[in-house]
Amino acid sequence: MSKLQNRKVIILIVLLATISFPFAAQNNEDLSISFVKQLERQQFDSCYRMFDTIMASKFSASMLEGMWQSIPKYMGDYKSYSTVSSEKKDTLDLVYVRCEFEKTKMDLQFAFNQSKKIVGMYFVPPKNKAAYAYPEYSLPHKFYETKITLKSGSYSLPGILCVPNNIKNPPLAILLAGSGPNDKDETIGANKVLKDIALGLASNGIASYRYDKRTLAYGKEMTEKIEEFDLYDEVIEDAISAIKMIKKNPEFKVSKVYIIGHSLGAMCAPLIASKSKKVSGIVLLAGNARPLEDVVLDQYNYIFGLDSIDKSEEKEILEFRKKMQIVKTPALLKAAKMQDLPLNGTSKYWQSLVNYNQVQVAKKLRQPILVFQGERDYQVTMIDFNLWKQNLGDNAKNKFISYPALNHLLMKGEGKSTPQEYEIQGNVDEKIILDITSWIKEK
């Protein structure tokens, strides 16, 4: 799953849509700065009055206050804002305000519609902090990439088909990103987890297809239907549509299709395989075996414990435990409001998680399963890896590999992994690529 810092940011991505500002003469950059200044002054009621009617009915000033005050727990104390930049994306104006914290710098991104209302707002890593570097194991002369849009119900999701040269009916992997509005490459700062995997597999004779998540391509629409949003909307439906699309392609009509999921994508892989006879096997990269709320609690304890847990952090952990109990009590969960639940998720979303036991679904699969785990991963840990192994290990078709030096992004490092480690440019370790390749080619 995504790191705790990113989970807090995901809340903003899914929940925050705002504003019409009363001074029409101001441009969108001015409006963004005005909003940040109000956050600095803790004028959350003023911020709330900038929300549109849809968000005002689902959000509150106190929720915004809680989010803003919790952010320094993961990025250090807020210092100031500095640079402002903007760009056009379709009908939206995107504005980036660089916010400086004690431990890092992040861009607070605002999305404005043509009426100068903010329809999205979330933190993203600064674009210019570091550039993506292609992995050494990527051999461009051995493959080609083609843009192919995934049609899934009423949604159109930009995607990329990566195909090895001169190989007829190559095996193909559908790549699934972790939680949050990830793009097709699963871009995290200067790192691109799924892109690395796609290029590495294609260099070794295995095709792949990856696509933007619905929560990225249709963020505004997802916000408007947030009360109805669940795991099927976020992952399952689009993955099944991708399988159907690939099998209709003459180039892959007789190819074996695999699901390779990372983090939340890995957690969902057994359910997808159970719903499609076209799936020949699944690969779980850092997928949680435990309930999500248990995993997130561990993340709280780990991150707060990197220095020493103070009283405010103890209080936050206690509050999270109370929300956990609501999730684990069906009658309470059904009636719960967003502010009463972990990560301000909706009742329907949490019900879709509670009603899905990934380990039990995986145990019933006929397809082989490959489980990978980085031993330095603090988001999904060796506890999860051992649970997968414990429950699936009796079946000889399944395989389990852990990697001592790898973190949640499947990249090498030393010592205890931290959120700041994700800001360092790296690539998915080549051993991951080679082990997936060997496993698929054995089938």
263 classed as catalytic: yes
The one catalytic residue in 263, 347, 352, 417 is: 263
- Smallest CA-to-CA distance from 215 within 152, 259, 126 is with 152
Interior angle at CA 419, CA 414 and CA 420, nearest 5: 75
The one catalytic residue in 93, 377, 384, 429 is: 377
Q: Model-level pTM?
A: 0.79
Interior angle at CA 140, CA 139 and CA 141, nearest 5: 95
Instruction: Please tell me what DSSP assigns to residue 229.
Output: -
The pLDDT of residue 423: 85
Give, for 109, the enclosing helix (H) or strand (E).
Answer: strand 105-112
Between CA 243 and CA 256 the distance in angstroms is 11
Between CA 170 and CA 166 the distance in angstroms is 9
Phi and psi torsions of 372, nearest 5° = -115, 145
- Smallest CA-to-CA distance from 380 within 213, 262, 234 is with 262
Structural domains of the chain in order of their starting residue, each with its CATH number: 4-124 (3.10.450.590), 140-292+349-442 (3.40.50.1820)
Strand partners, 285: 262, 372
Distances in whole angstroms, Cα of residue 156 to Cα of each of 149, 184, 218, 220: 6, 13, 9, 14
408 classed as catalytic: yes
Q: Which amino acid is at 256?
A: K
Between CA 313 and CA 295 the distance in angstroms is 17
The pLDDT of residue 89: 79
86 classed as catalytic: no
The pLDDT of residue 97: 93
Centre a 10 Å sphere on the Cβ of residue 248 and count the other Cβ atoms it contains. 9
The one catalytic residue in 107, 208, 408, 417 is: 408
pLDDT tens across the length of the chain (443 residues): 444 444 443 333 333 332 232 333 578 898 889 889 999 999 988 888 777 776 677 778 888 888 888 888 778 889 999 889 988 877 788 989 999 998 888 899 888 878 788 777 788 877 655 689 999 999 999 999 999 999 999 999 999 999 999 999 999 999 999 998 999 999 998 899 999 999 999 999 999 999 999 999 988 788 888 889 999 999 999 999 999 999 999 999 999 999 999 999 999 999 999 999 999 999 999 999 999 999 999 999 999 998 888 888 899 899 999 999 999 999 999 999 998 999 889 999 999 999 999 999 999 999 999 999 999 999 999 999 999 999 999 999 999 999 999 999 999 999 999 988 998 999 999 999 999 999 999 98
Q: What is the DSSP string of 397-412?
A: T-EEEEETTB-TTS-B
Strand partners, 258: 173, 281
The pLDDT of residue 23: 34
Centre a 10 Å sphere on the Cβ of residue 1 and count the other Cβ atoms it contains. 26
The pLDDT of residue 441: 96
Between CA 286 and CA 29 the distance in angstroms is 39
Between CA 291 and CA 46 the distance in angstroms is 37
Would you state the structure tokens that stand for residue 337, as one six-digit string? 């409001």
Q: Where are the extended beta strands (E) located within 279-321?
A: 279-285
